[in-house]
Chain A
Amino acid sequence: MSDSDSSRPTDPGSPPLQNSGLGGALWRVWVLACSTLTQLVRMKVFVFLILATLVLAAMAFAVVTFSPEEELKLIRDVALGSMHLFASLLAIAATAILLPRDVEDRTLYTILSKPVPRYEYLIGKWLGVVLLIGICLLFMDLFYSAILWWRQESLIQAQLAAFEAAGQLDAGLAEEVRTAIASQGLTWGFHSGAFGILLQGAVLTSAVLLLSTIATSTLFTILAGVAVLLIGHGQELARRYFLEGQVSTTMERLIATPVAIVFPDFSLFQSAADAASVGTGLPLGDLLRLTTIAVLYILVYKIAASLIFAEREL
C-alpha cells in the first residue's frame, strides 16, 4: 500500500459528482439493478435454466400423442408451464435471498451510507430480478419457438406426404392441413402468453420484496412467497365469493376481504397463458389492460415496501 505524496486518491471534495435529480436517481437504480443481475447470473442460474429447459423439452417429445395438433399443444403447454415455473421460482427465491443477505453481510451499510435513498435500493433490487426473469423468459420463448416452428413444419410436411401417398392431396386440402396444424403451432399468442408470465413474475417479485422488508430470514420469505403465489392463484375465487354475496358470516367476511384486497390476482395473468395454450392469445387491448393492472400492483407493493423499509432498523 503506498501513501506517497504524488498520489491524490484521498483528496477530499474533488470533482463534483453528477448525482442529483431524476437522472441521478435513475442511474443509481440502474447500477443497483445491473449489480443484482450480475449477482444472480454468477449464481449459475442460467446453467440450471438451460439444463432444466432441455430436460422438459425432451419430456414433451416422450409423451405419446394421437394427432399433430395434440403434439403441438403439448409442446406449447410444456413451454408455458416451464416458463411459469421458472418465473415464479426466480421471483420468490432470488428476491428472498437478496435483502436478508445484504442485511446479514452488512453490505447494505456500505450501500446506504452512500447517497442512495432506501427506495432506490428497493427499486434497483426489484428491477434486477425482473431483468433476470425477462432474460430467462426471452431465452425460453426463443428456444420453444424454434422447437414449435421446427415441429410444426415437419408435421405439416408429414401430413401432406401422407395425403399425397393416398392420392387425396389437392390445393384446398393442403391449405386446410397447413392452417389446422399451424394454428396449434407457433403463433403470436404464444408470445403474449410469455408476456403475461413476465407480468406475473414482476408482480410476484414486488410482493416478495415487500415481504422481505418485514421478514428477518430467507426461509420465512420463501415460504411466505409461495403462500402469496398459491393464494394469488385462488384469489379470484375468494373475490367472487366476497363480491357475489356468498359470504354469510362476519368471520367469513373478515377472512375473505383482506385476501381479495391484499393478495394479487394471478388468475388475471394466467388468462394470457391460457389463451396462448389454446393457440389464440390475448388481443392487444387485453394485454394493455393486463399491463396496467400489473403496474398498479407493483406500485402499491413498492410504496408499501418503501414505507416499511424506511422505518426499518438496520
Chain B
Amino acid sequence: MPTVSPSSPKPGDIDTTPAVRVDRLTRVFRTPMRRQKLIAVRELSLEVKPGEIYGLIGPNGSGKSTTMKCLLGLVRPSAGSCSIFGRDSRSTASRREVGFLPENPYFYKHLSGRETIRFYGRLCGLRGRALEERADELLEFVGLSDAADRRLGGYSKGMLQRIGLAQALVHHPRLLVLDEPTAGVDPRGSRVIRDLVLGFKERGITVMLCSHLLEQVQEVCDRVGIIYEGRMVREGRTEDLIAVENQTEIVLENADTALLEELRRLVTRHAADRPGAASGAAPRWLRDGRPRTTLERLFLEATGDSSRAGAPAADAHAGAAPSEQAGPPADSPPNEPTHE
C-alpha cells in the first residue's frame, strides 16, 4: 500500500491537498468460522476538496460505514489507501485534522455535557483555561449551555447528537466526518443540525456526511457519491446529478386560469410549428398544478418554529416532496412552497 506523506504548503501557496482521498479502497471481511469472504468495499475511489460538503449515500450494507471507518483508521484497508489532508489514515497524526460524529453516538453517561467536552478536549491536548473557554464556547454554540452540568444519561437524542458535534469540533478540525448526523432526531433538531452543517462550510470546514435522508443530503451537499455493493456507482455535483436534462420549470405567482391557458396554447402551437414534432423532440406541456409545501415545514410551523422553517440557509437549498408542478425559486419567502 502506498504511503501518503503529509503535505506542508509554503506560505502564500494555495493548499490544494484533498481533504479526503480514498484511493482504490478495498475491504474484505472474513467470517470467523467459515472463513467466507465478505467484500464490503471494492476498489472505491473518491476525493473531497477542502471546504466542500460531500455526501456519501447508499442502501444499508453498501459499504458507507466501512469506508468511513477506514478513513478514520478504525478499520484497516485490505487494499488501497485513505488519507486526510495528505496524511495516511492509518497514522494517528491524521486524526488531528478530523472530527467524527458516529451514528447514534453514546458517550459516557456518567459525565455531564461539560465534562464530556473537557474529556475529549484533554485527549486532544487542551488543558487549563483554554480548555474551559473552549468548552463554554462549544456548549453555547450547540445550544447546551443550560444543560451543561446535567449528566448525559438524561439527555435527549437531539441533545446527544449536539454534544457529539461539540466533541467533534473541540480540537478545531479542518474536516468533519458525520455518520447519519440526524438519525433519530426530530425535524426541528434535524433542521438545526442541517443549518450547522451549512455554517461549517461558511467557516471553511470540509464536511463528509453519510445519511439515509436523501433530501437532506440534496439540500446541503456540494457533491454526492452513491455507493452500492461496495462500489461507487454515481458521483458528481449534486445539482448536475439531480437535474432532469430535458425539462425546464417555471414558477408563477398570482397567475390566473386565463394566463395559464394562454401559456399552454403557446406551447402547443410552438410544438406543432417545430420540425420533428412527431419524433418527440418538440416542447411539451407536462403538468401544472399547485405546488406543495413539505411536511417538515408544516411541522416546524405547527410547533412554533416558523423562523427556522424559513431560515435563509435552509431556503437556499430547500428541498420538497414531489409535487405536480414546479415550485418557487430559491429566494422565495419563508412560508412559500419549495421546488421539486
Contacts and interface: CB of A to CB of B under 8 A. Distances in A.
Contacts of B172: 11-15
A175 interface: no
Given A1-B162, A31-B123, A116 B92 contact: yes
B171 A112 contact: no
A289 interface: no
A273 B23 CA distance: 59
B120 interface: yes
A110 B167 contact: yes
A314 B110 contact: no
B192 interface: yes
8 contacts: A9-B134, A9-B137, A10-B169, A10-B200, A12-B204, A110-B107, A111-B120, A113-B99
Given A3-B196, A9-B134, A12-B203, A114 B106 contact: no
Contacts of B208: none
Interface in A37-93: 38-39, 42-43
B180 to A, nearest CB: 12
Contact of B106 (A3, A106, A313): A106
Contacts of B105: 106-107, 109-110
A19 interface: yes
B143 A105 contact: no
A31 B122 contact: yes
B1 to A, nearest CB: 15
Contact of A24 (B69, B74, B108, B125): B125
B141 A2 contact: yes
B232 interface: no
A1 B192 contact: yes
A28 B199 contact: no
A177 to B, nearest CB: 52
A11 B203 CA distance: 6
Interface string A104-134: 0111011111111100000000000000000
Contacts of A109: 72, 74, 100, 102, 105
Contacts of A11: 172, 203-204
Given A12-B174, A314-B69, A7 B140 contact: yes
Interface string B97-138: 111111111111011000000011011111100100010011
Interface of A: 1-3, 7-15, 17-19, 24, 27-28, 31-32, 35, 38-39, 42-43, 105-107, 109-117, 311, 313-314
B148 interface: no
Given A2-B140, A19-B124, A113 B95 contact: yes
A117 B204 CA distance: 28
B225 interface: no
A19 B96 contact: yes
Residue from A3, A10, A31, A311 with most neighbouring chain B CB atoms (10 Å): A10
A7 B133 CA distance: 12
Contact of A2 (B93, B101, B143, B169): B143
Interface of B: 29, 69, 72-76, 92-93, 95-108, 110-111, 119-120, 122-127, 130, 134, 137-138, 140-143, 162, 164, 167-169, 171-174, 177, 192, 195-196, 199-200, 203-205
Contacts of A42: 110
A217 to B, nearest CB: 14
A13 B69 CA distance: 23
Interface of chain B, helix or strand or loop or mixed? mixed
Given A12-B174, A38-B111, A113 B100 contact: yes
A190 B107 CA distance: 41
B108 A107 contact: yes
A114 B171 contact: yes
Contacts of B102: 106, 109-110
B125 A38 contact: no
B107 A114 contact: no
B107 A3 contact: no
Contact of A313 (B75, B134, B192): B75
A231 B72 CA distance: 40
B161 to A, nearest CB: 11
Contacts of B74: 109, 112-113, 314
Contacts of B140: 2, 7, 9
Nearest to A5: B202
A7 B203 CA distance: 11
B195 A12 contact: no
A301 B269 CA distance: 85
A1 B196 contact: yes
B134 A3 contact: no
A31 B119 contact: yes
Given A1-B162, A112-B74, A114-B120, A105 B106 contact: yes
A38 B76 CA distance: 32
Contacts of B69: 314
Contacts of A1: 141-143, 162, 192, 196
Given A113-B74, A113-B100, A19 B125 contact: yes
Nearest to A41: B110
B83 to A, nearest CB: 15
B291 to A, nearest CB: 29
Nearest to A105: B106
Nearest to B94: A115
A272 B69 CA distance: 47
B112 to A, nearest CB: 11
B141 A10 contact: yes
